Structure 1
Amino acid sequence: MGSLRTGSLRYVGALACALAAPAWAAPAATYRNPLPVHLANGEPAQNCADPAVLRDPRAKTPTWYLYCTSDPVSKKERPLDGEKGDWHFHMIAIYRSTDLVAWNYVGDAFVDRPAGLAAPTSGLWAPEPAFLNGHYYLYFTVTDVADAHSPEAGCDKDSAIGVAMADSPAGPWVPASKPVVPPRRAGPGCDFQWTFDPKVVEDGSRKWIYYGSYGGGVYVQPLRFDGLQAEGTPRKVGTAWRYEGAEVVRHGGWWYLFGSTTDCCNGPLTGYAVYAGRARTPAGPFLDRMGQDLAAPRAGGTPVLFQNGNRWVGVGHNTVFPDAAGQWWTIYHGIDVNEPFFSAPDKLTRRLALLDRIDWVDGWPVAGGGGPGGIKKRPG
């Protein structure tokens, strides 16, 4: 199989073999990054930060859904020159695909921020879809909860994890009235840990939820059977200064935690990347291939996705999954150095969805089959 390189056609033989079926047209054997993600009117979507993918277990034909952080997605969805007003933020845009390459808009998870759960100016970030107990769940970050759910009224950084349920991966979504993980204090007043970036997994009959970020670290905690409330004692699995955007999958008898990281001071345009560790249980500890703990003060991490000076920088916050044939892939966001901002005056970074193959080499994930977009070559 040919190497995968941004700027050139990419070979996706596994996808073509897995998804071809007599009832519908087989996808092309090649594709280009960024992925063609389209709005209902056919225009390209310009933003898909923190992408997450769910394969619909009820669909007869392999069908996947892509969920993106709340953001503007079209440069036309803004006030006309000289007019006052704000950009239109899609409250978790949802797209659908039958080949993992071409994605079409199906709607937003919410018309507006869930009343009573999120404050009027809160962000809804890092969506995490899951199929649990015969229902569809959508977990998400609430960057500022309503005062009723905060230990300190009037704060704007008391983040939490919310959830909504639906009978379809496209919705309509009905949000729960209470957070799954409430705001967590870091100090007095409005000093809170960052309760961001949910990820949910099942291990037999047990469910686990991961959350957290640079502000306090990444944690894992048991999740109540109904999926609506974290319970028990949280355990740190990613150190505070290094990791966010936890993605956790099971492969070959191991649980792998993918964490996105920056160099702390220069922002996502310089050092954002993805590293991995693995553990025998979802509770960790997650160690890299050198045996270093991702939660240690001098954190470990085996490199998976990182930039190499080409078109794509700020690569990360990925989702990892197998296709219908069992080949593994990752979708992640990246910033195009030729057009880094959706709106520079408004400080809106333009983060597009990129797809690359994951191979498992000596028990560790290797991205891109030799050279994904903006990533150095990995042994294959």
Structure 2
Amino acid sequence: MIHAKSARTRAGSRFRRGRRLAVLAAATAFALLPTSASAYPNPGRVTGDIVVHDPTMIRASDGTYLLYSTHGGLEARTSTDRIAFSRSGNAFNTPPSWWKNYSSSNDPWAPDISYQGGKYLMYYAVSSFGSSNSAIGFATSSSGKAGTWTDYGIVHSTTGSSNYNAIDPNLFVDGDGKWWLSFGSWWSGLKMIRIDPSTGKQYSGDKTVYGIASRPTGTKAVEAPTVVKRNGYYYLFASYDTCCAGTSSTYKIKAGRATSPTGPYLDKNGVNMMNNGGSVVLESHGRYIGPGGQSVMSDVDGDLLVYHYYDGEDNGTPKLGVNLLSWSGGWPTAY
């Protein structure tokens, strides 16, 4: 979902989720490009305005797909068929006044959209490159459309002396009614806090900042958490390694699972994600370089992994990627 990612390479400004796809033929048609020789699938066919970073997507009650991404007041796109996407403005037409305390350019990153309690919710980050002086904001909308969002200010923030970073938020609502917000980037890794459903802000009865993924040795490059629950397990998806360097990007998507939303999340080999663990779900192959900045959404034909990648046949331009997910064997597999 540009991030303030410590010590990582960035290129320019960010434009900030046998069976093959037998897809819905009409409004939800979704055809895969031919499979490459690698173990990973190519993204499904999308057209139109698909130059994005950190995409988050939801299907509205009228069937329209609403997609938001980093940059420009949080870029908004819509689609009626999950293939053709068109720009429809930005989430915010006027930057909230508090943004300037974290970003001189008033440029928010990494939105997360969901629908709860009869309204659309959006969590997003405001920061600047290389800084942990960051904040996560919260907004709501009755329609989810561009220009309709009301901002409610800061949910959680970090300073330049913090050992973690308040960016890349993702809301997870458990079956017992508890709300959790995961976030984080580099430094000491990914975190989670409990959210009060009545306010959308941090729950006063639990101020703990839980650690859910970290790389204590070697590179600290882990960010962009996404949590879902499937088949009795909580799954944490995260982006590892270098983003935003065009065709030099080494971003990849990994996952682990747990029996509690706060972890511990273990990969297929039983390695804790707090100790460099994580099983690869999607990584570079062919022209599709550095997939990451992912989100997961449920649609009528299954769960979708929505992400960006860098197009090796288009000068490393960041583009929208969408694949269905299988949970066969208890682990997510993109196809």
What residue number does 1:202 align with?
A: 173
> What are the residue-to-residue correspondences of 1:306-325 with 2, within 5 Å?
306-308=283-285, 310-325=286-301
* Aligned partner (choices 195, 214, 232) of residue 186 of structure 2: 214
Q: Aligned AA for 2:96?
A: P
Please name the residue that 1:64 is paired with. Answer: 65
Matched, 1:245 2:224: yes
Please name the residue that 1:224 is paired with: 196
Q: Which residue type is aligned with residue 331 of structure 1?
A: V
1:155-184 alpha-carbon deviations (Å, 9 max, x no partner)? 9651110111111111401111x3101224
| Alpha carbons of structure 1 residues 200 and 243: separation in structure 2 relative to 1, 3 Å | same
SS of the aligned residue for 2:52 comes to coil
How do 1:114-153 and structure 2 match up within 5 A?
114-119=96-101, 120-143=104-127
1:300 pairs, out of 277, 283, 290, with 277
Alignment of 1:26-105 (within 5 A): 26=27, 28=29, 30=31, 32=33, 33=43, 35-38=45-48, 45=49, 47-56=51-60, 58-59=61-62, 62-70=63-71, 90-105=72-87
Alpha-carbon distance, 1:227 to partner: 4.3
| Alpha-carbon displacement from aligned partner over 1:172-216 (angstroms, at most 9, x marks no partner) | 01111x3101224536xxxx6321100001112211001111133
Mark the structure with the bigger radius of gyration: 1
Rounded to whole Å, the distance in 2 between the matches of 1:222 and 1:268 is: 37
Determine if contact 2:246/2:315 at 8 Å carries over to the other structure: no
CA shift in 2, pair 1:27/1:238, >3 Å:
closer
**C-alpha distance in 2 between matches for 1:227 and 1:249:** 22
Aligned partner of 1:377 in structure 2 is none
Which residue is 2:23 aligned to? 14
CA contact (8 A) 2:31 2:45 kept: no
In the other structure, the counterpart of 1:257 is 236
AA of the residue aligned to 1:284: G
Q: Secondary structure at the match of 1:194?
A: coil
- Pick closer, same or farther for the CA change 1:226–1:184 going to 2, 3 Å: farther
- The residue matched to 2:236 in structure 1 has which SS? strand
Q: Secondary structure at the match of 1:116?
A: helix
**Where does the alignment leave 5 or more consecutive residues of structure 1 unmatched?**
4-11, 21-25, 39-44, 71-89, 145-154, 342-349, 369-380
The separation in 2 between residues aligned to 1:29 and 1:113, in whole angstroms, is 35
Q: CA–CA distance in 2 between the matches of 1:99 and 1:239?
A: 38
For the residues of structure 1 that align with 2:96 and 2:131, how far apart are their CA atoms? 16
Match of 1:362, as an amino acid?
Answer: G
Corresponding residue of 2:38 = none
CA distance in 1, matches of 2:114, 2:288: 29
Q: Secondary structure at the match of 1:48?
A: coil
**Are 1:275 and 2:254 counterparts?**
yes
User: In structure 1, how many angstroms separate the alpha carbons of the residues matched to 2:46 and 2:294?
Assistant: 17
- Equivalent residue letter for 2:231: G
Q: 1:276 to 1:27 in 2, by over 3 A?
A: closer
The gaps in structure 2 that reach 5 residues or longer are: 1-17, 34-42
Deviations 1:259-305 (A, max 9, x none): 100169x8883421000001112111111111111112xx1111100
Please list every run of at least 4 consecutive aligned residues from structure 1 whose deviation after the TM superposition is greater than 4 angstroms.
Answer: 26-29, 31-35
1:170 partnered with 2:145: yes
**d(CA) in 1 for partners of 2:277, 2:117:** 35
Aligned counterparts of 1:28 and 1:230: Cα–Cα separation in 2: 39
Question: What residue is the counterpart of 2:311 in the other structure?
Answer: 336
How much has 1:91 moved relative to structure 2?
A: 1.5
Distance 1:27 1:270, change over 3 A: closer
User: What's the TM-score once normalised by structure 2's chain length?
Assistant: 0.80
DSSP 3-state at the match of 2:157:
coil
Per-residue Cα deviation, 1:289-328 (whole angstroms, up to 9, x for no partner): 11111112xx1111100113x1110111112223213x22
CA distance in 2, matches of 1:291, 1:28: 37
Tell me, yes or no, if the aligned pair for 2:44 and 2:323 is still in contact at 8 Å. Answer: no
Highest RCO, 1 vs 2 (Cα 8 Å, sep ≥ 6): 2
Rounded Cα–Cα distance in structure 1 between residues aligned with 2:241 and 2:271: 18
Q: Deviation per CA, 1:124-180: give whole Å up to 9, x if none.
A: 110001222322111101115xxxxxxxxxx9651110111111111401111x310
- The one-letter code of the counterpart of 2:296 is V
Taking only aligned residues, the RMSD between alpha carbons, in angstroms, comes to: 2.5
Closer, same or farther in 2 for the Cα pair 1:220/1:104, shift >3 Å?
A: same
For 1:179, the aligned partner's letter is I
